[in-house]
Amino acid sequence: MLEPSPGSRIPSAWRQAMPLSRVVLHYRMGLPSLGKIRPVAWLLGALERIAELLPRSIWAYFVVLRHLSQEAGTSCSHAPNRLLNN
């Protein structure tokens, strides 16, 4: 569990309401070659954009970003959309 230090804020954001392309194009469970077909890629993208109309409380991905202090002997990431462990 991430706990902010006093006076700090842990940035978070909602991402991907319904990541259909992750399932349909998955390298093991799906058919990744379908992603090369423009109409299929367009359709998946359109369905994912439509899914953004769903209430955020049921979205599939929630991203929490955490900067780790250089002083504590850990690295600090400035990359957006990266979930850090530790």
Structural domain including 76 reads 1-15+60-86
- 3-class DSSP state of 33: helix
Say how many Å lie between the first and final Cα of the chain, rounded. Answer: 9
18-61 pLDDT, tens per residue?
A: 888 888 999 998 999 999 999 999 999 999 889 888 888 787 77
**Does the model's pTM come out above 0.85?**
no
Please state the domain count of the chain: 2
Structure-derived torsion over alpha carbons of residues 36, 40, 45, 51, reported in degrees to the nearest 10: -150
Asked if 11 and 21 sit in the same domain, the reply is: no
